[in-house]
């Protein structure tokens, strides 16, 4: 396994283009099973979750070709109906295959995703919605076993104890696209990724209205066709992560492709913390504050503050002046990053679904282990701001949702390199780290000690 070795960063500066949204492309890949014609998807991020979904599609007999950021999926040989545990266990989002398998094959056998370190993530809303469309479902030997004749449109309420479900909304919407009659999905998820999936289905010939609101109307059609060329939306979570990296290092960064309309709650909180954010057509400009201010944050379903950025803003607030309170309303157990941040000098206490962050103004480097995808991003950001070297392990989580984030950060001037876990890297100046990462001789070899920057220097 690899680890990231991170040195304290000078202010990050420059321009990056935000990659496609991982949480959009996975259900869209599943939706390609709803037709026997090929579809071409653009702006696809090369992350391990996408690779896992490709493995599942291949196992189902689907032809796939992935080059650059363009993905071609041709279900001409689609013959299976089983999504096995060894693949589903790698990625909970593979549950979104359930609806398309039922709609096309009339049956599905999809492994239950199993436990999750950020807390329970039940599939009851998926099953409830598909049963309302006429599916017969049983749980046997850890698998969801579902069968149906022709699905029939219905009125479906998808409200749960913690609000709506993005993947359940997508599953029901995909199945309803090929059902007889009209389906009304009430208490639907409003996230941009749901809208992206609906727009992709419309490009295939589906009849869908109301996406982006709490009620979605789906009029079933006899068949769908392939989508000749569809571009995935930019990843709002990646954009938010990079914006916080700029803010934590005293930098100034332009994020091309970032959608301000998808990030309104995040922009509001960053501005409240003192970060300057300028919204321009097709981009965001982020400039760090002279002094970060404490803010209170509550994660909520869209358009509220996203749970997938809770860990990252917690890392940022460790550097703020004052006391911040973070409340997690989506996954109350999503705080495994707290002890790791405390190992880096943070002062965070947790009680139930609330964490109190006492801003210390600085962090120190440490060896830390990521527990999940977004926690890994938070630890990387903390490492950029820490006064000494940080080693982040558990990169298999990071790679699930970020495409070469260390390369992106180096392009902005960060000091970090990926190395085998058993290898030790002595603190080095930026030009050496960058040169090693690019596989070229490093200039200035006589200067082997990394300079430590004062807070004032980092903000210049």
pLDDT in tens, 398-413: 999 999 999 999 999 9
The sign of the CA dihedral 439, 440, 445, 451 is negative
Active site residue 318: no
Which of these, 96, 81, 92, lies nearest to 171 by C-alpha position? 96
What pLDDT does residue 460 have?
45
Number of neighbouring beta carbons within 10 Å of residue 448: 12
**227 and 264 housed in the same domain:** no
Domain match, 246 and 120 both: no
Task: Give 114's pLDDT tier (boundaries 50, 70, 90).
Answer: low
Range of the domain at 404: 2-19+234-458
- Per-residue pLDDT band for 447 (boundaries 50, 70, 90) equals very low
Q: Give the model confidence (pLDDT) of 235-264 as tens digits.
A: 999 999 999 999 999 999 999 999 999 999
What sign has the CA pseudo-torsion 303, 304, 307, 310?
positive
Residue 118: the pLDDT is 57
Q: Region of 187 please: left (phi>0), alpha (psi -120 to 50) or beta.
A: left
Q: Which of 208, 231, 254 is the last residue of a domain?
A: 231
Q: How far apart are CA 189 and CA 173, in angstroms?
A: 11
User: Could you tell me if 222 and 196 are in contact, meaning their C-beta atoms sit under 8 angstroms apart?
Assistant: no
pLDDT for 445: 39
To the nearest 10°, report the CA torsion of 76, 80, 81, 86: -120
Distance between CA atoms of residues 407 and 411, nearest Å: 6
pLDDT of residue 116: 53
pLDDT digits 0-9 by tens, 278-311: 999 999 999 999 999 999 999 999 999 999 999 9
Tell which of 231, 258, 282 closes a domain. 231
Give the pLDDT of residue 307: 97
Q: Which residue has the higher pLDDT, 442 or 11?
A: 11
Rg, Å, the chain Cα set? 23
- pLDDT category at 121 given cuts 50, 70, 90 is low
Q: Where are the strands (E) in 352-443, listed by range?
A: 354-358, 367-369, 390-393, 415-420
**Residue after which a domain boundary falls, among 194, 214, 231:** 231
Task: Of 46, 140, 123, 36, give the one whose Cα is nearest residue 78.
Answer: 36
| Tens digit of each residue's pLDDT (9 = 90 or more) over 336-371 | 999 999 999 999 999 999 999 999 999 999 999 999
Whether residues 91 and 205 fall in one domain: yes
The structural domain count of the chain equals 2
| Peptide bond before residue 245 is cis, with ω within 30 degrees of 0 | no
In degrees rounded to 5, what are phi and psi of residue 68?
65, -125
Per annotation, catalytic residue among 116, 148, 190, 318: 116
Residue 120 has pLDDT above 80, yes or no: no
| Number of residues that make up the chain | 460
- 26-43: pLDDT as tens digits: 999 999 999 999 999 999
217 and 296 belong to one structural domain: no
pLDDT above 80 (res 430): no
pLDDT in tens, 82-105: 998 888 888 888 899 999 999 999
How large a percentage of the chain has pLDDT more than 90?
A: 83
- Domain CATH for 217: 3.65.10.10
Examine the domain organization and report whether 85 and 134 are in the same domain: yes
Task: Give, for 124, the enclosing helix (H) or strand (E).
Answer: helix 124-132
Residues 13 and 84 in one domain: no
Of residues 192, 146, 185, 151, the one with CA closest to residue 168: 185
Mean pLDDT of the region 152-178: 93
Question: 292 and 206 in one domain?
Answer: no
Predicted TM-score (pTM) of this structure: 0.91
The DSSP call for residue 360 is -
Q: What is the reported pLDDT for 443?
A: 41
* pLDDT at residue 422, as a whole number: 79
**Do 201 and 180 sit in the same domain of this protein?**
yes
Q: CA nearest 241: which of 336, 330, 308, 301?
A: 308
Residues 59 and 207 in one domain: yes
The average pLDDT across 136-152 equals 94
Whether 225 and 283 share a structural domain? no
My answer on whether 203 and 248 are in the same domain is no
Is 227 found in the same domain as 272?
no
* pLDDT average, residue stretch 157-174: 91
Task: Give pLDDT, residue 439.
Answer: 45
């Amino acid at each position: 396994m690899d680890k990231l070795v991170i040195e304290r960063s000078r202010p990050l500066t420059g321009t990056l283009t935000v990659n496609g949204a991982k949480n959009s492309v996975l259900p869209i890949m599943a939706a390609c099973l709803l037709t026997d014609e090929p579809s071409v998807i653009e702006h696809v991020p090369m992350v391990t979750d996408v690779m896992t979904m490709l493995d599942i599609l291949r196992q189902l007999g689907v032809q796939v070709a992935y080059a650059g950021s363009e993905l071609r999926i041709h279900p001409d040989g689609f013959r299976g109906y089983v999504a096995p545990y060894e693949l589903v266990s790698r990625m909970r989002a593979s549950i979104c295959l359930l609806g398309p398998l039922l709609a096309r094959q009339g049956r599905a056998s999809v492994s239950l995703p199993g436990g999750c370190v950020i807390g329970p993530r039940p599939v009851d809303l998926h099953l409830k919605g598909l049963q309302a469309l006429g599916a017969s479902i049983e749980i046997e030997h850890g698998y969801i076993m579902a069968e149906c004749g022709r699905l029939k449109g219905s009125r479906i309420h998808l409200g749960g104890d913690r609000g709506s479900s993005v993947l359940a909304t997508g599953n029901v919407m995909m199945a309803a696209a090929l059902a007889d009659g009209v389906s009304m999905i009430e208490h639907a998820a409003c996230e941009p990724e749901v809208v992206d999936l609906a727009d992709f289905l419309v490009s295939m010939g589906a009849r869908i209205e109301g996406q982006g609101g709490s009620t979605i109307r789906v009029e079933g059609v006899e068949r769908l066709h392939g989508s000749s060329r569809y571009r995935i939306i930019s990843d709002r979570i990646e954009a938010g992560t990079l914006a916080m990296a700029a803010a934590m290092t005293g930098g100034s960064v332009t994020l091309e492709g970032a959608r301000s309309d998808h990030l309104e709650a995040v922009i509001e909180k960053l501005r409240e913390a003192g970060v300057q954010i300028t919204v321009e057509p097709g981009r965001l400009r982020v400039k760090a504050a002279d002094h970060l201010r404490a803010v209170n944050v509550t994660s909520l379903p869209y358009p509220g503050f996203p749970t997938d950025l809770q860990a990252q803003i917690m890392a940022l607030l460790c550097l703020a002046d004052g006391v911040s309170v973070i409340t997690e309303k989506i996954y109350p157990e999503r705080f495994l990053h707290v002890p790791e941040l405390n190992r880096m000098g943070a002062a965070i206490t947790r009680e139930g679904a609330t964490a109190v962050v006492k801003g210390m103004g600085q962090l120190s480097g440490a060896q830390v282990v990521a527990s999940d995808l977004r926690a890994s991003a938070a630890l990387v950001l903390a490492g950029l701001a820490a006064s000494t070297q940080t080693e982040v392990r558990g990169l298999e989580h990071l790679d699930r949702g970020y495409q070469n984030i260390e390369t992106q950060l180096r392009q902005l001037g960060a000091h970090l390199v990926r190395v085998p876990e058993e290898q030790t890297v002595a603190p080095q100046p930026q030009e050496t780290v960058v040169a090693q990462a690019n596989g070229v001789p490093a200039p200035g070899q006589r200067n082997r000690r990394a300079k430590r920057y004062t807070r004032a220097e980092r903000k210049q």
